[in-house]
Amino acid sequence: MKLRWFVCLSAALATIPWTEGAQPDRVVCYYDSRSRHREGVGKAEAPGDIEPSLSTCTHLVYGFAVIDGANYKLVPLDEYQELDSGKGYYRAVTSLKKRYPGLNILLSVGGLADPEKEKYLTLLESEDNRKNFVSSARILLRQYAFDGLDLAWEFPEIYVKKDRGTLGSLWHGFKKTFGFAHSHKDEKADEHRDGFTALVKELKNSLRPDGLLLTAAVLPNVDTSIYYNLKDIVPNLDFISVLAFNYTTPEKKPEEADYPAALYQAGGRDINHTGDGTIRWWLEKGVPAHKVIFGIGPFGVTWKLTSESKISGVPPIGADGPGEAGPQTKTPGLLSYPEVCSLLPNPNFKSASAPHLLRRVTDPSHKLGSYAFRLPDSSSDTGLWVAYEDPETAGYKGAYVKNKGLGGIAIWDISLDDFRGVCSGEKFPILKAAKNHL
């Protein structure tokens, strides 16, 4: 009995620095190393291009390492670029600690950088596989002086029902042809949840003696209630970045464009497709608010509009799949914030070609977010609808985090923010706006 009380008391004492009124203090900056392969002004090289963010970030998370399918070891995405035997980007990034001594630099695994998702489940199924992963992770982290590991585990996305409409079946054919990643039901979901719980525990035990951090990022459209045994994993994680965006995407719903990263529910939309709905769920499950990090995506999600789309542009609006890829990010359905801002009327861009500009619609309710659009016409037969994060909407999210007493914000990822300051002259305006409201 006495021992029990003692244990409870120590547990309570251990959490005291986080009693009510604690300030959210974490600014978790994800950097996707694949952005260094972009051409032109979108090319974001670490350390150089990301350095102006580092006086704002408390954690820099280098993404993404992957799993070797042959032996389940943690390996770099690009050995030649990242290891000392090649160009040494890992070392160049962790060396930033000399200039930013308070900065924690973590390595993240998964994060959708690894096209082979199956490994992320089979690894969980066997203790030997997990052992290989855990020991290789510890070695890699220590060898390159990372401060910890972030698990952006590639769990399957929520099952999407096939659409029966004409557009839907058209898309079904398209997806089959072009191999759009589509989710399936996971027959061994319980086993995978238990394996992940064990993995988190085994990693924590391995990293603890060196004082290394262990964190997780929950990717969009993963069923948290299936894969995350919160009661058992949360005590072993320093914090969890909940990516509160991409609730709707052109991959999930090609025929209907809608706000992908609304903060609050409006107009009968699904509460679970909002940042607030998601965060409430985490808090209701008993996860301490200070461990929950609100994930913000500094980008726009785009759909193509058709001649049948509504003239008003008001979402939800009929659409025809992902919008055309941007000149820098070259990804259909996605535009970085600078790519979006170059399409908006802006006194800084006098030479912008007027016919391609989008009409901007802000959100005075502060619930849903900003969007902009251009209807198809005779000069450009591809209309475009884009919902995007901007400094203003990111600021509301920062204020929400403060209000709820959450642990901070995560920006996923900073290469999509305006890291050159072309939109308004300020570098990383979305990161900074969110941080300024914490």
Ligand X SMILES: *[C@@H]1O[C@H](CO)[C@@H](O)[C@H](O)[C@H]1NC(C)=O
**Integer Cα distance of 59 and 29 in angstroms:** 6
Q: How far is CA 301 from CA 143, 262, 314, 322, in A?
A: 38, 12, 15, 8
What would the x/- binding string for ligand X be over residues 99 to 138, using CB under 6 A? -------------x--------------------------
Shortest separation between residue 270's beta carbon and ligand X, angstroms: 5
> Of residues 15, 23, 169, 331, which one binds ligand X by CB under 6 A?
331
Give the tokens for residue 19. 């009693």
Closest to ligand X by CB, 106 vs 212, is 106
Report yes or no: 58 and 102 within 8 Å, Cβ to Cβ.
Answer: yes
The set of residues, in sequence order, having a beta carbon less than 8 Å from that of 48 and lying 6+ positions away, is none
Helix (H, G, I), strand (E, B) or coil at 138: helix
Q: How far is the CB of 45 from ligand X (least distance, A)?
A: 20
Asked if residue 63 binds ligand X (CB under 6 A), the reply is no
Q: Does 270 bind ligand X (CB under 6 A)?
A: yes
Between residues 367 and 402, which has the closer beta carbon with respect to ligand X? 367
Quote the CA–CA distance of 82 and 320 in Å, as a whole number: 39
Smallest gap from Cβ 241 to ligand X, in A, equals: 11
By CB under 6 A, residue 295 contacts ligand X:
no
Q: Are 5 and 35 in contact (CB under 8 A)?
A: no
Instruction: Tell me if 292 contacts ligand X by CB under 6 A.
Output: no
Write down the least CB distance from residue 209 to ligand X, Å. Answer: 32
Among 71, 169, 225, 424, contact with ligand X (rule: CB under 6 A): 225
Q: Is 189 in the site for ligand X (CB under 6 A)?
A: no
Taking each continuous run of H as one helix and of E as one strand, the counts in the chain are: 13, 16
220 is a contact residue toward ligand X (CB under 6 A): yes
Q: Is 330 in the site for ligand X (CB under 6 A)?
A: no
User: Interior CA angle at 232 toward 226 and 237, to 5°?
Assistant: 100
Q: Which residues of 27-48 are buried (b: 16+ CB within 10 A; e: fewer)?
A: bbbbbbbbbbebeeebebbbbe
Out of 250, 275, 391, 398, the residue judged to bind ligand X by CB under 6 A: 250
Interface residue with ligand X, options 32, 251, 255, 418 (CB under 6 A): 251
Q: Write the binding mask 12 to 51 for ligand X: x where contact by CB under 6 A, - elsewhere.
A: ----------------------------------------
User: Exactly one of 35, 132, 249, 336 binds ligand X (CB under 6 A); which one?
Assistant: 249
174 lies in the binding site for ligand X (CB under 6 A): no
Q: Does 411 bind ligand X (CB under 6 A)?
A: no
Residue 301 interacts with ligand X (CB under 6 A): yes or no: yes
Report the residue number, 68 or 270, with the smaller CB distance to ligand X: 270
Q: How far apart are CA 123 and CA 131, in angstroms?
A: 9
Which of 201, 280 has the CB closer to ligand X? 280
Measured from the CB of residue 386, what is the shortest distance to ligand X in angstroms? 10
Omega prior to 245 cis, within 30 of 0? no
Q: Say how many residues touch ligand X, by CB under 6 A.
A: 17
Taking phi over 0 as left and psi of -120 to 50 as alpha, with beta for the rest, 51 belongs to alpha
- Contact between 336 and ligand X by CB under 6 A: the answer reads no
Helix/strand/coil for 427:
coil
Does residue number 383 form part of the binding site for ligand X (CB under 6 A)?
no
Of 352, 329, 331, the residue nearest 342 (C-alpha): 352
User: What minimum distance in Å lies between the beta carbon of 95 and ligand X?
Assistant: 28
The answer to the question of residue 156 lying near ligand X (CB under 6 A) is: no
Q: From CA 438, how far away is CA 181, in angstroms rounded?
A: 36
- Smallest distance, ligand X to C-beta of residue 221, A: 7
Q: In sequence order, what DSSP letters do the residues of 310-337 get, joined into one string?
A: -TT-PSSEE--SBPPPPTTT--TTEEEH
Query: Is 312 a residue that touches ligand X (CB under 6 A)?
Result: no
Shortest distance in whole angstroms from residue 310 CB to ligand X: 21
Q: Which residues, including other chains, have CB under 8 Å from residue 218's CB and lie 6 or more apart? A: 224, 228, 240, 241, 242, 243
Stretch that binds ligand X, among 196-204, 270-278, 306-314, 428-436 (CB under 6 A): 270-278
Which residue from 15, 26, 181 is spatially nearest to 112, judged by alpha carbons? 181
Q: Which is nearer to ligand X, 250 or 315 (CB)?
A: 250
Residues 191-225, buried b or exposed e (16+ Cβ, 10 A)? ebbebbbbbbbbbbebbeeeebbbbbbbbbbbebe
CB of 146 to ligand X, least distance (A): 21
Give the binding site for ligand X (CB under 6 A). 112, 219-220, 225, 243, 246, 249-251, 270-272, 281, 301, 331, 333-334
